Amino acid sequence: MSFYRKIKYFLVHTLNLTNKEASQAIENGWVKINNETITQNVIIDELSEIKFNDVIVREKIEFVYLKFYKPIGFQSSLSTKVENNLFDFFKNYKGLSIAGRLDKQSEGLLLLSNDGKWVEKMINPKYIKQKEYFVELDKEVTKEFILNFSLGVDIGFYKTLPCICKLINNKTINVVITEGKNKQIRRMCFKLGYNVVNLKRIRMDSYTLDLMKEGEIAQFKLP
């Protein structure tokens, strides 16, 4: 979380007050932080509501945490400059970032939030978050495939870390990885002589898709 040095700094650089005017406003009780009048040059965080002369000059930021069932055919992007983007699903939200993407032909769980620190913890490899998938392949899965996939696969520019790979039926596997290389599972399968017919993410860390339907958004709270 970023911090302004002091409320006076905010007043000077946001409202274009002079140092003297900002100091006087604080001393006179003209400034409120989260509806509490302040009379000293206190430190403020990036979330608080700030009022000057009872007028809101910065709204309080409320963090929102969302689960989304991304349908096939959409890019994991909120930018309207990207074709087949997700903007229309989230046009009523501001400042969202996606915590871990899915390629256009994949479906399933996306997590989004305007809490940058939380998003960073979800996507930074050093935090080691599990991601779980159902993967349907184009032909019958062998024991050799399961073993080689689990041990890690050289996908050309990188050898993937060992992961969990279990057989669900003759053409479908359950995969749990802790990495997130571009199209990693598809590349792993291709290197082992298989093509992915369908890829669906069902879990990220402790957050699950549950019984959500395609295109559905569900808000949740952090534990």
* Residue-by-residue DSSP string for 42-61: ---BSS--EEETTEEEEPPP
Specify the domain boundaries for CATH 3.10.290.10 within the chain.
Answer: 7-58
Among 28-37, 53-62, 64-73, 153-162, where is mean pLDDT lowest? 53-62
Amino acid letter for position 42: V
The closest of 118, 73, 107 to 209, measured between CA atoms, is: 107
* pLDDT at residue 4 in the model: 55
Amino acid letter for position 149: F
Question: What percentage of the chain has pLDDT greater than the value 90?
Answer: 91
User: Does the pLDDT value for residue 5 go beyond 80?
Assistant: no
52-86 pLDDT, tens digit per residue, is 999 999 988 889 999 999 999 999 999 999 999 99
Q: Is 118 helix (H, G, I), strand (E, B) or coil?
A: helix
Q: Could you identify the residue written with the tokens 């994949």?
A: 106
Cα dihedral sign for 189, 194, 195, 196?
A: negative
CATH number for region 7-58: 3.10.290.10
User: Does the pLDDT value for residue 21 go beyond 90?
Assistant: yes
User: Does the pLDDT value for residue 180 go beyond 60?
Assistant: yes
Mean pLDDT for the chain overall: 95
Question: What percentage of the chain has pLDDT greater than the value 70?
Answer: 98
The closest of 73, 71, 153, 77 to 108, measured between CA atoms, is: 71
Q: Considering the domain 65-220, what is its CATH architecture? A: 2-Layer Sandwich (3.30)
The Cα–Cα gap between 176 and 41 comes to 50
98-147 pLDDT, tens digit per residue, is 999 999 999 999 999 999 889 999 999 999 999 999 999 999 999 999 99
Active site residues: 103
The Cα–Cα gap between 78 and 104 comes to 13
User: Does the pLDDT value for residue 1 go beyond 80?
Assistant: no
Specify the domain boundaries for CATH 3.30.2350.10 within the chain.
Answer: 65-220
Per the CB < 8 A criterion, the answer to whether 128 and 77 are in contact is no
